[in-house]
Amino acid sequence: MSDSVLSLQAVGLAFGGVRALADVTFEVERGSITGIIGPNGAGKTTLFDCISGIRKPDSGRIVLRPTGGAPVDLVVRRPWERSSLGVARTFQNARLFSSVPIGDILRTVQHESMTHSGFWRSVLGTRGARADEAIVAERAEEALDLVGLGAHADKPPSELSTGMLRLAELAAVAVVRPKVLLLDEPASGIAQAETEALGPLLQRIGAHLDATIVVIEHDMPLVMGISDIVVAMASGGVVTSGPPDEVRRHPEVLRSYLGAPA
């Protein structure tokens, strides 16, 4: 735990009387892949919502330590500020902009990098704006090719299968070049045979971007196969964390998650 990029310190959140998150504390090491496992309702997605700013925790701190920058407490930042801090996430049900062809989606998500394309510059089509558009289009194309969807750039999400949507979403987060990548169940909705191909793809994307990946996943072989550290959650709290093999054998994990008595 020498070099932590993301540190969660006693994060808590309650919905009315339900404690969705209780005192969640763990560190995410820079450049690692951290898997989060846990039964439904364990608070995994809520935790992602807190990190990405969709929900505000009642207590605790979520500290991001960018390379060569001062630490930032994400709790006090607005949702859209994450992007420029290098944090990107995918959603459980592969949510993208539903009416836009995926090629355009991949250009849309690069919104922030287009520094020469303010309102008037875009409308007037200045040289800077045109250059921005060209770069963005090129990167979008590259990212689609990276996940193998290059031929489908003109199709809106409604014409893609769930699995292809997952890939498109991965391309969308990859194209913004984040330093911390939060993936919410990237394998859900894809067939078993294909999840086997997903692991290497995630590792490849992580290596490409030189990014840290935090991944929520129910598919045990996948998450155990790619993670350096696995965090097991249950009813809003952290049960245990450590290398996959250790977590796999942890009695409470076996009981509360895998369902088999130790």
Window 33-92: residues binding another protein (CB under 8 A): 52-54, 78-84, 88-89, 91
Site stretch for another protein (CB under 8 A), options 5-13, 21-29, 59-67, 114-122: 114-122
Nearer to another protein, 132 or 217 (CB): 132
3-state secondary structure of 232: strand
* Pair of tokens at residue 68: 């060569």
Site stretch for another protein (CB under 8 A), options 4-12, 27-35, 195-203, 242-250: 195-203
Kindly state the smallest distance separating residue 127's Cβ from another protein, in Å: 14
3-state secondary structure of 188: coil
Kindly state the smallest distance separating residue 231's Cβ from another protein, in Å: 22
Query: Within positions 156 to 175, which residues make up the interface with another protein, using CB under 8 A?
Result: 156-165, 167, 172, 174-175
Site stretch for another protein (CB under 8 A), options 1-9, 23-31, 96-104, 227-235: 96-104
* Pair of tokens at residue 58: 């009642």
- Regarding 143 and contact with another protein (CB under 8 A), the answer is yes
* Pair of tokens at residue 48: 């992602």
Query: What b/e sequence results for 14-49 when a residue is b if at least 16 CB atoms lie within 10 Å of its CB, and e otherwise?
Result: eeeeebbbbebebbbbbbbbbbbbbeeebbbbbbbb
